[in-house]
Amino acid sequence: MLTGNTQHNPRTYRIIGPQSQIDERETPHPRVDSGELGERLRTWRKTRFGEDPFDRVLGAGGGDGDSNNSLRHTMSRIPEGKVNPNRMAVSDPAEMSRNIKEIARFFGADVVGITYLDQAYVYSHRASGSVATEAKAGDPIHLSHRYAICLGFASDYYKFLSNNSRISDAEYHLGLTRTIPITLMLASYIREMGYPARAHQSGTYEVIPIPLAVNAGLGELGRHGLLINEEYGSRLHLSVVTTDLPLAIDKPVDIGVEDVCKYCMKCARTCPSHSIPFGSKEVYNGVEKYRINQDTCYKYRLASRGQWSVCVICVSSCCYNKPEAWWHTVACWLLKRIPIPLRPLYIKPLLWIDDLFWGKRPWKHMKWLNYDNAPTSMTCNIPGCQANHSNLQHKRLHVAKPVARAQ
Ligand code: B12
Ligand code: SF4
Ligand code: SF4
């Protein structure tokens, strides 16, 4: 069993002390379900997919509908298959890694990377039961697999620009749903080759995917606490297959996130709940990294007034989040190749251009199906502000005051 990051030196975090495993029961969703973050948020979470049939199908079901009409709900109940007793011999782990990556992409993953399964990123106990593995809520998790295959699934750039709306919600939830069959299929394929494998995705995570994905070279950790991928920015859903299939591991990458986040701070400026730090990294559970305020981020959902359920503002504001285009590829390619001490000279003008062309607060008016994210009139409930203004003005008026960039 591996503990501690022993393989390499990623730049966006630093292990500086012992890390203890996190108990899933103490993470935000179970804390909200128990009412620890207030009755309003607990009720909101129970009823968030209630009104719109489209939302109920894409989300996790519930409301007035039948949860079995949500594939996300039904797929989380598919039993884990048995390991085929006729094990295929693996003579070349590097060749097997190439094979696994190709198959994962064929199934539908957008990016794939492999790392050791560090036990620090396995939850210590389950928050809820699992039909797939017959585990019960509160059970300790024993997951001794050696490898973690990390998968990333990209969301549509333009639909996320409609943040926060039913349109960005639909894209977010479809993305989550899409991760499930692909992750299940990859785990099944490995079990059919005769090796144990488990799928970890929305609703059934036994591992924390972000640190594993950073170690597997899918990207780096941003100021907003999310994985940033060179091609897709932060609009990746993450899932993991853990296994004992002999594999070769990947190395973490340097795509310049450490240097860009130092000066950029666009996510911190646009976060409506001020949950993303402007300041430096902090040490938590033995790791030095940027850390968001999870509780205020979660509570911001209460401001949705039934118009959306998932905030993706930090995802779409991030300057790495761009549509597929040659100039984005060239900008990232150059950044990686510039020696680290010289990078600020390149980054500062790039950030200025980013604000100029993409806006200080990226957002687009969009009509799709019968949805329209145009601002609607509302009465503001922010303490001290009794103005009757549109929901867009509300966002502009109540985002963090711009703070000077680090020089
Ligand atoms: C609970 C949860 C939330 C909570 C709390 C957020 C949080 N940071 O924990 C709320 C509701 C606020 C939330 C919001 C969002 N979430 Co969320 N969330 C989760 C979930 C289900 C569990 C996270 C958890 O257990 N946190 C509690 C403990 C572990 O927190 P922590 O110790 O601070 O650790 C966090 C980080 O520091 C990091 N981490 C932990 N240890 C280490 C060690 C090292 C070395 C490193 C580098 C990182 C690292 O991972 C943790 C998750 O961010 C994960 C899936 C998963 N199983 O991880 C998705 C997940 C993190 N969320 C995701 C997303 C996309 C979002 C949102 C954009 C949209 C949304 N769902 O509303 C926002 C973004 C907010 C933000 N800036 O982080 C994605 C991130 C994908 C990516 N590209 O990075 C995940 C992985 C799920 C997915 N769909 O793939 N989320
Ligand atoms: S999801 Fe929204 S509220 Fe949460 S950190 Fe990102 S921008 Fe802020
Ligand atoms: S918006 Fe800027 S500061 Fe925030 S994560 Fe992206 S690059 Fe880093």
For the four alpha carbons of 224, 173, 105 and 80, in that order, the dihedral sign comes to: positive
388 backbone dihedrals φ, ψ, rounded to 5°: -100, 100
Residue nearest to atom 6 of ligand 2 (CA): 314
**CB 265 less than 6 A from any atom of ligand 3:** yes
Averaged pLDDT, 324-330: 94
Q: What is the Cα–Cα distance from 252 to 220, expressed in whole angstroms?
A: 8
User: How many residues does this entry show for the chain?
Assistant: 407
Per-residue model confidence (pLDDT) at position 149: 98
Q: Which of 118-122, 128-132, 313-317 has the lowest mean pLDDT?
A: 128-132
Q: How confident is the model at residue 131 (pLDDT cuts 50, 70, 90)?
A: confident
Residue located via tokens 């696994």: 100
Q: Which atom of ligand 1 is nearest to the CA of 297?
A: 12
Distance from residue 78's CA to the centre of ligand 2 (Å): 32
The predicted model scores a pTM of 0.93
Query: Probe ligand 1: pick from 208, 230, 236, 293, max atoms within 8 Å of CB?
Result: 208
Q: What is the Cα–Cα distance from 321 to 213, expressed in whole angstroms?
A: 18
Is the pLDDT at 2 greater than 60? The verdict is: no
Is the pLDDT at 257 greater than 90? The verdict is: yes
54-72 pLDDT, tens digit per residue, is 888 888 766 667 888 889 8
203-242 pLDDT, tens digit per residue, is 899 999 999 999 999 999 999 999 999 999 999 999 999 9
**CB 235 less than 6 A from any atom of ligand 3:** no
Q: What is the Cα–Cα distance from 270 to 321, expressed in whole angstroms?
A: 14
Residue located via tokens 């598919």: 78
Q: How far is CA 330 from CA 180, 227, 327, in A?
A: 33, 21, 5
Residue nearest to atom 71 of ligand 1 (CA): 310
Ligand 1 proximal residues by C-beta, below 6 Å: 13, 22, 27-29, 176, 205, 208-211, 214, 221, 224-227, 234, 236-238, 285, 287, 289, 291-292, 294, 297-298, 310-312, 314-315
Q: How confident is the model at residue 48 (pLDDT cuts 50, 70, 90)?
A: confident
Best CA proximity match to 232, nearest among 356, 313, 102, 332: 332
Distance from residue 263's CA to the centre of ligand 3 (Å): 9
Averaged pLDDT, 170-175: 95
User: What are the residues whose beta carbons fall under 8 Å from the beta carbon of 108, sequence distance 6 or more?
Assistant: 153, 178, 182
99-111 pLDDT, tens digit per residue, is 999 999 999 999 9
Best CA proximity match to 316, nearest among 170, 93, 163: 163
Per-residue model confidence (pLDDT) at position 52: 81
Residue nearest to atom 88 of ligand 1 (CA): 237
Q: How confident is the model at residue 76 (pLDDT cuts 50, 70, 90)?
A: confident
Q: Torsion over CA of 349, 354, 359 and 364, rounded to 10 degrees?
A: 170
Q: What is the Cα–Cα distance from 387 to 399, expressed in whole angstroms?
A: 16
Residue with the bigger pLDDT between 237 and 6: it is: 237
Distance from residue 223's CA to the centre of ligand 3 (Å): 6
Residue nearest to atom 8 of ligand 3 (CA): 261
Q: What is the Cα–Cα distance from 124 to 140, expressed in whole angstroms?
A: 6
